[in-house]
């Protein structure tokens, strides 16, 4: 039987070409190490993120649908993987809206025709997150078999952010009982990192808002929200916060520094992408997974723990 998600279309999205560069690097390296193929969507565009959505949600739906149309109609894929929570959320939302709202489908058809590409139709492609990609292709046992050094009891708080599971109705594949991802208490990152040897701590703010939307309009609120997440992670016993979204990751890193400078509140917990941790567990080098590109300096700590 062919392995699930062995070869998928890869939609990195804008953030992974900028602040989330190390997430892009580590995702690709982990894919290679696990024997999973990523083929980048050709000539992709922004998913519409928050900016376009705020102006006109239907244009955001069109932008996301164009990415899915290229992957499905021009490249022949039935699965597109988006590691960014914002992109993942927007593609899922576009999929839902196109299937439910005739007016949206009509606007997308009109814009697609004008832009000169085939219109994306709901159901042509499945959008998955990087967590689904690894968890559903290899599972924990597959990770255990491939782990080399492992994470050796590293205490990790897994932070999923607020867009990975919300709103529930755009993720029909979740909450399907044992084995499926939960929108109330997501666990895929916990499962993968535990399989790699990490010790996951109970972390009550794993899906709490990091204040990403306030970052520009009200930085102080964002800093206080992030500081609360960092403190809660430390109080839970975590040495590292594992992330799976470039926006959350940057927010945690930047506001950790800002909290110290502006509020005099220093926290020592490290912030690392789950793909970086997984890569290290698989025996990849720290530079290979871009640890040096993170703002949060974790290299010394990871070396001390014997992980990097």
Partner 1 sequence: MRPLAEIATAIDVAGRSPDAVAGATELLGLGEAVLEHWLAAHDDVPTAGAREGFRLLALHRQGAGGEPSFNACRETCRELVFHYNLITLDAAHADTARRLAMMAMVAMHLYLFISGKLESAKLGEFCCSSRPVRANAG
- Using CB under 8 A, list all residues that contact partner 1: 162, 166-167, 184-185, 204-209, 211, 213-214, 217-218, 221-222, 224-225, 228-229, 231-232, 235-236
Q: Return the bridge partners of 178, or none.
A: none
Structure tokens at 112: 């697609």
Q: Which is nearer to partner 1, 195 or 205 (CB)?
A: 205
Taking the least distance from each CB to partner 1, the nearer of 115 and 235 is 235
* Shortest separation between residue 181's beta carbon and partner 1, angstroms: 14
Residue 223 or 288 with smaller CB distance to partner 1: 223
Q: Which residue, 35 or 99, has its beta carbon nearer to partner 1?
A: 99
Pick between residue 180 and residue 221 the one whose CB is nearest to partner 1.
221
Q: Using alpha carbons, select from 299, 119, 131, 269 the residue that is nearest to residue 203.
A: 269
Nearest to 28 by CA among 294, 279, 282, 250: 279
* Helix then strand then coil, % of the chain, to nearest 5: 50, 10, 40
For partner 1, give the closer residue by CB, 144 or 231.
Answer: 231
| Rg (the chain; Cα; Å) | 19
Minimum distance of partner 1 from residue 232's CB (angstroms) = 4
Tokens encoding 81: 């993987």
Angle formed at CA 161 by CA 66 and CA 40, multiple of 5 degrees: 30
Q: Which residues pair with 271 in a beta bridge?
A: 241
CB 255 within 8 A of CB 228: no
Distance (Å) of CA 28 to CA 25, 137, 185, 289, 290: 5, 15, 27, 9, 11
Question: Strand pairing partners for 158?
Answer: 242
Beta carbon nearer to partner 1, 29 or 190: 190
Helix (H, G, I), strand (E, B) or coil at 58: helix
Cα 39 to the chain's mean position, in Å?
Answer: 17
At closest approach, how far in Å is the CB of 210 from partner 1?
Answer: 10
Q: Which residues contact 32 (CB under 8 A, 6 or more apart)?
A: none
CB of 119 to partner 1, least distance (A): 26
Measured from the CB atom, the residue of 133 and 164 that comes closer to partner 1 is: 164
Query: Cβ of residue 276: shortest distance to partner 1, in angstroms?
Result: 25
CA distance 289 to 300: 15
Q: Where does residue 248 rank: exposed (0-12), middle (13-18), buried (19+ CB within 10 A)?
A: buried
């Amino acid at each position: 039987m062919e392995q699930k998600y062995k070869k998928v279309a890869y939609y990195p999205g804008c953030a992974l070409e900028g602040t989330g560069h190390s997430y892009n690097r580590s995702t690709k390296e982990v894919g290679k190490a696990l024997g999973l193929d990523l083929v980048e969507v050709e000539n992709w565009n922004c998913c519409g993120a928050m900016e376009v959505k705020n102006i006109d949600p239907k244009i955001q739906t069109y932008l996301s649908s164009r990415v899915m149309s290229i992957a499905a109609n021009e490249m022949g894929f039935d699965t597109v993987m988006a590691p960014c929570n914002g992109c993942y959320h927007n593609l899922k939302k576009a999929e839902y809206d196109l299937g439910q709202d005739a007016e949206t489908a009509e606007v997308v058809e009109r814009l697609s025709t004008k832009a000169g590409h085939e219109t994306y139709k709901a159901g042509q492609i499945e959008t998955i997150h990087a967590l689904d990609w690894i968890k559903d292709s290899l599972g924990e046992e597959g990770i255990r078999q491939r782990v080399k050094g492992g994470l050796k009891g590293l205490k990790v708080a897994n932070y999923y952010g607020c867009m990975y599971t919300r709103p529930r109705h755009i993720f029909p594949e979740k909450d399907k009982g044992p084995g499926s991802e939960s929108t109330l208490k997501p666990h895929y990152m916990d499962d993968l990192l535990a399989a790699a040897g990490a010790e996951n701590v109970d972390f009550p703010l794993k899906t709490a808002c990091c204040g990403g939307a306030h970052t520009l309009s009200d930085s102080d609120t964002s800093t206080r929200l992030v500081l609360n997440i960092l403190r809660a992670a430390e109080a839970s016993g975590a040495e590292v916060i594992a992330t799976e979204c470039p926006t959350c990751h940057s927010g945690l890193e930047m506001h950790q520094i800002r909290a110290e400078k502006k509020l005099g509140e220093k926290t020592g917990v490290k912030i690392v992408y789950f793909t970086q941790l997984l890569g290290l567990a698989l025996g990849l080098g720290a530079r290979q997974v871009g640890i040096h590109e993170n703002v949060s300096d974790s290299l010394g700590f990871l070396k001390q723990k014997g992980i990097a």
